[in-house]
Structure 1
Amino acid sequence: MTGEGGTRYRHGFDQDTSYGSAVRLIGSAGLQPGLVLDLGCGYGAVADPLIGLGHRYVGVDLDEQAVAELQERGHEAHRCDLLAPGDELVERLSRIVDGRRLAAILALDVLEHLLDIPATLRALASVAEPSDAPLVVSFPNITHFDVGAKLLMGRWDTTDEGLLDRTHTQFLSGPDLLRVFLEAGWRQAGADDVIRPVSDQCFPSYTPVLRPGTPAHGLLRAWRDAADPYGSTFQFVRLFRLHPPQRREAVAGVDEVRPFATVIVLTGRGQDPRDLADLHRDLDGQRGVEHEVRVVEAEDGQVIEALNEALRQARGRYVSVLRPGQRVGPGWLAALVAAEQRAVGAVLRATVRTYDDEVGAASAEGSFAVLAADAGEVAQAPLDPVHVDVPAPVIPAAFAVPAQVAQTAGVVPEERHGSSSLAVFLARAAALCGVEPADGAEVLVPRSHLPDPVVDGERIDDALSEQPMLLRAGDANRLADLRRRILADEARLSALEAQLASRDQRMELLSEHVRDLGTRMRTVEAERDLWRREAERRLGVRLRAVARRVLERFQSR
């Protein structure tokens, strides 16, 4: 196209660009052959491919030279200012269509140059309405990873074309694009985005945040990819169809009043309401702290999907996940609020006590005080990979997580982590936000709800090892201290192994002495047996001689 600031794009047709995406969307939309109006057509790169699909191509541009060149190539082309007021633009485009059947309208690399996108979209809706023609647009993605990473470094590099073309006046994210179109009477009906992990903004190429393989790039890339699927999207190329305009929904902003907490109660299908009565009574007793309760019922195979939907819809600044049988103390939310005031945006952790399931079933009216009186406190995993301790369980009910961890950062529980999905979610949230103990916040859980700390620990380690990790201030010294302790332990282990080896040698010598003594003893015993037999033989000879003499004397008488 020809930019409104005078920039002329003379790119030819390429399947891997927005032109190829637009033609694919037109071809797959099942449209009857008709007139395709290409707004801001410039060189008219899509003219021949669209004609090949059986359509009549008509180019529209402000630049006289572009219009003349298209006409010289045998294509219909008209001069039109897309910045004209809405009624005037509708009238001008309707004259160009001139009663012909309109198959589609194209606005490729156009809208970002306009001053009032909604007004133009409403005008195009009026032009498209008689034939219900779809609108295909391409729009640069201002939230591409390269742009965001450079902003962190204080760089905003405008260029002659591309993501930060200096003639662009409008910048939209993916969700913003859908919202603007929906408000103007268009709903999305197709997408064929241009994906470029490395964009025209990837310069200077050896900047640490841009160069793949650096820790900085890996960390930022992991965060960006978790937030939404558009980190590598270079251009949004979408097909829209006419739809009744919708008013903008309320968007959570800085000044919007939101409840402090969303409490998600996760249950199975057909859960007996009586199983939730005690927990609801506890939540009703959280006086003075605004909160909402969302009961989520889900089958076993749909728990994570239902939970993630509840996380996305949560209105509270913080989110906690509880299950039937788990209880919260009367000052639970108030203590969480106090902890948040000390560390805004941190993951908050309550004290956990456990009770026997049989005791809970028999407690009078489900009294929290009765259960708490005999419940024992449970040590919890610190959720800090730098912290060294014996394995301890991760108890999801103990934690309140900032809702934006899921809603903006894209950190949510994942099916692939199985029974440890919530534990891994909490560990990833803690890695981003840190953890603040909430003194006075108490949670009771049945003993049967305690997870296996070894299984959770292994899965947390695996998950955190999948991507670069953010370390807090002071962690380098803690890691150095751990290294010194490990080296000292290894030195002590080496010394003990040397002592053990020395003792093994001494034991071997002693064994040899014992074997030698055994050999000598066997020799002595053999000699003793020989002497005994010889003595017995000699004694027998002497006894027989004596007996013979006695007999002889007796006979002589």
Structure 2
Amino acid sequence: MTAADVPYDFDFTVESAYGHALELLAEYDPIVDGGIHLDLACGAGAIAAQIESRFGTSYVGVDFDQAQVDRLREAGFEAHQSDLESPDCYEALRELIAGRPVASITMLDGFEHLARRDGIGDALGRLSREHGCILVLSVPNVTHRDIAVKLALGSWDYTSTGLLDQTHVRLFGERQLEKDLAGYGLHRIARSDVLLTNSDQHFPDDHSALQQGTTIEVLLSELRDAAEPNAAVNQFVWACVAGPRVPAVAAEHAAAGPKFTVLIRTQGRRVHELQEVLTCLSAQSDQDFEVVVVAHSVDDRLVIGRLVDDTPAGLRGRIRVVHVDRGNRATLLNIGFAAARGRYVTVLDDDDLVLGHWIETFSVLDRKHRGQVLRSLAVVQGASRVDVLGQPGIRATTSPEMPYEEEFSFVKHLSLNQSPFMTLAFPRALFRDFGVRFDESLTTTEDWDYLLRAASLVGVADSREIVAIYHHWAEQESSATEHDAEVWRLNELAIRRKIDSRPLLLQAGETRRIRQLVESEHLYREITAQVPATADDPDRAEALHRLISLLESRSWKATSPLRWAGGVVGRGRDARGAHFTDAQAAEIQQAIAQVERSRSWRLSRWLLRK
């Protein structure tokens, strides 16, 4: 018999699962006087010589195939034929062990071939526990990027060997393998996975979704890579030890829990404001939500505890407090989203207020647009903190304004965030299943960044209901004042570079907005071309250029809803640069002054920093 006649006769190499398995064994020094190494589903015994020469341990191979067993014996190694699918597997293995101490166990690329695994799984757990020995196993990863990309496009190609070996009867990703092993009382303590960017499933050669750099390849690869960390893992190679059995539970189709998680970030310095927020929540018309308070570096934790204790009983039992002593604003959000149990997560800072139908508005949207980002509206109002008879209070300093566009536009959000955090509810699946995390390298604008990435993946559903009051603290510290303008600018540039570096999915209707922007740019160029600076009237030409840049700016367009009447020099709230091409210099200067003095323009300067 030649090597070509024997299936799965692979040579030992350091780069293979065999080499990775031996490195894990070496890390835990499996040398026991008179001990044996038990190699289950050993096949041709690729590691036999390495085990005996490297560790001085007697190799014992076990396989169902008698031909493989005979071949090992001819090579001078102990080997036994045994049915690893038998429910009596444990007793059969104990018999061949014959009272000798087991120093270590391996089962390399065998588990996936067994239709009935309970017998061998029970035996592995019991033997590892009884002998206090390590188990190293390797299993192909069915969640490799190549398989995921091809399956997304309808391809599933079995092969004679490899990730989709036609003899595999059980397929594993990391979570399924962990769950199955835990059911047998086996728990991973180390790993040395085999990584392959291009697996044996990386075919055909002309498959565009597999060719590096194509738009579809970049998009699908980024989605897969973000979802969980094993996209390039070809084989899981794990070291396990015995521990408690954890009964396997089938995946739930619908996880029990509230519909919404309200995430509140606080530093414990705005006690009265946080109390107002909890009062707003207790009065919600829809109570299908939980509250997760993420307290960041709070010196007096009892303050938060007392506020929770003072809330009505119906709400108090749904509040959890998570204390965090590290990281920045984005860190708190990642921790809070990880702790959330709701189908959606909405973020409410401790210095803003929501109206009684806030949750109800999201719930109505969910019934028609499940799985999308849910969006409502807020008004902006100036506020200050005051003392009233020795008690803290909040005083409005301006009338409420509604500067945000009623309909979400991804294209417009690329330049200016039009959606305060509390007006959004994000599907938790984005965090849990897509791996979309808040960027902890950002010290500001982390909400804008997350919204852009979320909206590109799942779209946004709009409600035109005003459900919140976004406070503008003119004299007190807030997120807008903790960092200077340069920090805000650098974070904004980082987000734009990130967006520019990857393909984007756009919701239906966004191409219309792109066309409008392009047409606006063409109009701007046509207007400015008509009014070159000349020696006859250089001041007028320069002023007209200035006015056009103001009226065509994103800030002026974004605050159009605030200009209910009047507009600019009697030309309406939507006055454009083209309206002034024939105007006299004095009228142009008057229009510039009117724009720069307007309430909407001043508010837009603040919105850019929020």
TM-score band by shorter chain is: 0.7 to 0.9
The one-letter code of the counterpart of 2:180 is: V
Separation in 1, partners of 2:412, 2:453: 15
**Would you tell me which structure has more helix in proportion to its own residues?**
1
Alignment partner of 2:508 out of 453, 469, 473: 473
Larger Rg: 1
The one-letter code of the counterpart of 2:432 is: Q
Instruction: Please show how residues 105-144 of structure 1 align to structure 2 within 5 Å.
Output: 105-144=105-144
Separation in 2, partners of 1:19, 1:210: 28
Separation in 2, partners of 1:489, 1:373: 35
Deviates more, 1:322-331 or 1:437-446: 437-446
Aligned residues of 1:222 and 1:468 also touching (Cα < 8 A): no
Task: Identify the residue that residue 43 of structure 1 maps to in structure 2.
Answer: 44
Return the offset for 1:337: 1.0
Task: Identify the residue that residue 82 of structure 2 maps to in structure 1.
Answer: 80
Separation in 1, partners of 2:12, 2:21: 11
Task: Identify the residue that residue 292 of structure 1 maps to in structure 2.
Answer: 290
Return the offset for 1:450: 6.7
Separation in 1, partners of 2:276, 2:364: 25
Alignment partner of 2:276 out of 275, 278, 283: 278
**Deviation per CA, 1:512-536, whole angstroms, max 9, x where unpaired?**
xxxxxxxxxxxxxxxxxxxxxxxxx
Aligned residues of 1:111 and 1:139 also touching (Cα < 8 A): yes
Aligned residues of 2:140 and 2:236 also touching (Cα < 8 A): yes
Separation in 2, partners of 1:409, 1:160: 32
**Deviation per CA, 1:88-116, whole angstroms, max 9, x where unpaired?**
21111111211111011111101111123
Q: How well do the aligned residues superpose, as a CA RMSD in angstroms?
A: 3.0
Structure 1 residues 362 and 198: CA distance shift in structure 2, 3 A: farther
- Please say if 1:17 is aligned against 2:16: yes
Deviates more, 1:166-175 or 1:109-118: 109-118
Separation in 2, partners of 1:434, 1:111: 41
Aligned residues of 1:393 and 1:456 also touching (Cα < 8 A): no
Separation in 1, partners of 2:397, 2:360: 18
Structure 1 residues 245 and 432: CA distance shift in structure 2, 3 A: same
Task: Identify the residue that residue 376 of structure 1 maps to in structure 2.
Answer: 401
Return the offset for 1:310: 2.3
Separation in 1, partners of 2:357, 2:204: 54
Return the offset for 1:226: 1.0
Task: Identify the residue that residue 372 of structure 2 maps to in structure 1.
Answer: 346
Gaps of 5+ in 2: 298-324, 539-610
Separation in 1, partners of 2:164, 2:423: 46
Aligned residues of 2:187 and 2:243 also touching (Cα < 8 A): yes
- Please say if 1:317 is aligned against 2:343: yes
Separation in 1, partners of 2:291, 2:21: 45
Gaps of 5+ in 1: 1-5, 508-557
**Deviation per CA, 1:255-294, whole angstroms, max 9, x where unpaired?**
44431100111112x5565442111111111233411001
Aligned residues of 2:384 and 2:397 also touching (Cα < 8 A): no
Task: Identify the residue that residue 548 of structure 1 maps to in structure 2.
Answer: none
Separation in 2, partners of 1:116, 1:293: 44
Secondary structure of 2:345's partner?
A: strand
- Please say if 1:334 is aligned against 2:332: no
Separation in 2, partners of 1:371, 1:468: 44
Separation in 1, partners of 2:134, 2:105: 6
Return the offset for 1:130: 2.0
Separation in 2, partners of 1:150, 1:410: 20
Aligned residues of 1:13 and 1:45 also touching (Cα < 8 A): yes
For these two proteins, the number of residue pairs brought into alignment is: 493
Return the offset for 1:356: 2.9
Secondary structure of 1:377's partner?
A: coil
Separation in 2, partners of 1:363, 1:382: 43
Return the offset for 1:446: 2.0
TM-score where L is the length of structure 1 = 0.81
Structure 1 residues 378 and 456: CA distance shift in structure 2, 3 A: farther
Separation in 2, partners of 1:341, 1:366: 40
Secondary structure of 1:77's partner?
A: strand
Separation in 1, partners of 2:18, 2:233: 15
Return the offset for 1:135: 1.3
**Deviation per CA, 1:466-508, whole angstroms, max 9, x where unpaired?**
3221123344454345444434544444x34xx527x35999x
The one-letter code of the counterpart of 1:267 is: T
**Deviation per CA, 1:389-430, whole angstroms, max 9, x where unpaired?**
974565222211110110110111121122222321122111
Return the offset for 1:314: 1.3
Alignment partner of 1:70 out of 64, 69, 72: 72
Structure 1 residues 390 and 121: CA distance shift in structure 2, 3 A: closer
Return the offset for 1:123: 1.9
Deviates more, 1:28-37 or 1:174-183: 28-37
Secondary structure of 1:264's partner?
A: strand
Q: Percent identity?
A: 29
Separation in 1, partners of 2:414, 2:102: 70
Alignment partner of 1:357 out of 379, 383, 402: 383
Secondary structure of 1:282's partner?
A: helix
Structure 1 residues 204 and 372: CA distance shift in structure 2, 3 A: farther
TM-score where L is the length of structure 2 = 0.75
The one-letter code of the counterpart of 2:67 is: Q
Instruction: Please show how residues 17-416 of structure 1 align to structure 2 within 5 Å.
Output: 17-33=16-32, 34-51=35-52, 52-85=54-87, 88-248=88-248, 253-268=252-267, 270-271=268-269, 273-299=271-297, 301-303=326-328, 304-358=330-384, 374-379=399-404, 384-387=409-412, 391-392=416-417, 394-416=419-441
